[in-house]
Amino acid sequence: MNRIEKTVWELAQPVVEAAGLELWDVEYVTEAGQRYLRIYLDGPEGVDLDTCERVSRAMDPILDEADPVPDSYIFEVSSAGCERALKRPGDFARFMGSLVEVRLYSAVDGTKQWVGTLTGYEDGEVTIDAGGQRRFSQKQIASVRLRVEF
């Protein structure tokens, strides 16, 4: 987590908790030449558009006053979603036994995308059961997301 994301996390945490929600992630990225500051939420009943709008309106004056982002940006508040990214050790512990998709920087056995049941996480290394145990180092992993199949 970079400095901006950490600062925004600290600013957003009390606002999100006051709304009875969980702050899932903060992301500050550049896409197609435009900067985006995104806050991802989770809640016991899920997160709908009205909830995102309420949190966004509550955060606007806080972000304006603290001014944690030096450049212009687009601010978005969103649900973490059912295929959310897993990043922190607590995320992996919470979803142990769940179906995940692991994307790699370089192919292993001919593929950069692995789907399997999350069976382990230790010091950034992820283990999944994908028709056999597969372990990926933190350096190999581009992203890990929950996977929903219908």
- Say yes or no: 75 and 106 in one domain: no
For the chain, the distance separating the N- and C-terminal CA atoms, rounded to the nearest angstrom, is 33
**Residuewise pLDDT in 10s, the chain (150 residues):** 799 999 999 999 999 999 999 999 999 999 999 999 999 999 988 899 999 999 999 999 999 999 999 899 999 999 999 999 999 999 999 999 999 999 999 999 999 999 999 999 999 999 999 999 999 999 999 999 999 988
Which structural domain range is residue 128 located in?
89-146
Answer yes or no: do 9 and 67 share one domain: yes
- 92, 121 in Cβ contact below 8 A? yes
Q: Are 63 and 30 part of one and the same domain?
A: yes
From CA 144, how far away is CA 4, in angstroms rounded? 22
Residues 142, 75, single domain; the answer is: no
